[in-house]
Amino acid sequence: MALKKFSFNVTKKNGYARLGKIITHRGVIDTPAFMPVGTQGTIKGAFLNDVFKTGSQIILCNTYHLMIRPGAERVKKYGGLHNFINCKKPILTDSGGYQIMSLSKLNKIDREKGAIFNSHIDGSKFILSPEESIKIQKKLNSDIVMVLDECPKKTLNYKLISKSVDLSTYWALRSKKAFGKNPHKALFGIIQGGLFKDLRLKSLKDLIKIGFDGYAIGGLAVGDTQNEMFNVLDAIKDYLPDSKPRYLMGVGTPSDILGSVKRGVDMFDCVLPTRLGRNGLAFTWNGRINIRNSKYKTDKKPLDISVKKFDLNKYSKSYINHLFNTNEMLGAMILTLNNINFYQELMFEIRKHIKKGTFLKFYNKFANKL
């Protein structure tokens, strides 16, 4: 049976909001889509089968962390990450660019060599170049591959951001050459440029010249405000290729997602639903709940009466409050699954309302509530 080629189609528009489908040989991804984050090849506190039962159609895994542990060669021996972690759905791997920023104290950047790291685990030295990042992602055998970029922290230093854009474009070109041609997989370019419209447009223009299967917006959710993020999206939304998926990296809250969909974004990932769930915060259609709050000690009601999947509403707030106050891991597991499920319910409703032409009404109802 021939493998399906990677493709993307926009099937409906409602303003700038887009309904679409990404086709991969491992399955269809309905967009706008949210990707749960499995940094180490696992969604912390949840079985993958349960994650996919929420409606998740793709997950994200981390090139840098999997390169460190267990190592790309070990994963390759299993035939790739899908076999290693028992995942039947598509996987997107980021390139390690975010770690160049988040672990900046442990690396230095060389234009030709790449990022020269000291491992955060044992201090050993290694170099992550554009070519090496692609090589690792090929060994992981992910379905959507990201170019290596430099993701700078928020700054108003124009000269610094301009230099970063030039470096990211140069690395994107090298990543494209290293990726080669594979119609069954996708390579996404990453738009940088900080909060500067002209640099964002320069980055986008140069990436379009190189040619990618999708375009990600990087360098946001790194200290900028929501309004600053939306200003960047507004600045580039009319220039993004209409026929390619648009991925806003590392974003975000339900309100972030709604506002970004309104500006034409198709794909999202963020650690918030799982990280906050592990720390006692639940997302619901009535807003966020800090289950550690003492007012929930005697609350017999479920987190969200409307949730039908996994019988999540059979657990009272009182019981979950008890689990967190006694450091029982089940509490974190319940909220992790609840939050992933909520995010997928949110994406389902977004897609439904784009299709019906009522997205703006839906946005106005929930943008400031969630």
Tokens for 131, please give them.
């070519």
Residue type, 18: R
Q: Please give the single-letter amino acid code of residue 74.
A: R
Q: Mark whether 224 is an active-site residue.
A: no
| Backbone region of residue 290 per phi and psi (left: phi > 0; alpha: psi in -120 to 50; beta: other values) | beta
Catalytic residue (choose from 30, 269, 304, 311): 269
Record the tokens describing residue 189, joined without a space. 């370019």
Report the 3 state secondary structure along 19-46. Answer: EEEEEECCEEEEECEEEEECCCCCCCCC
Instruction: Tell me if 31 sits within 8 A of 266, measured CB to CB.
Output: yes
How far is residue 370's CA from residue 356's CA, in Å, rounded to a whole number?
Answer: 22
Indicate if 94 belongs to the active site: yes
End-to-end Cα, the chain, rounded Å: 44
Would the CA dihedral through 322, 273, 261, 166 be positive or negative? positive
Closest CA to 131 of 147, 153, 152: 147
Pairwise CA distance, residues 136 & 95, whole Å:
9
User: H/E/C letters for each residue in 52-83?
Assistant: HHCCCCCEEEEHHHHHHCCCHHHHHCCCCHHH
Q: Which residues contact 150 (CB under 8 A, 6 or more apart)?
A: 97, 100, 101, 109, 164, 167, 168, 171, 192
Which of the residues are catalytic?
A: 94, 269
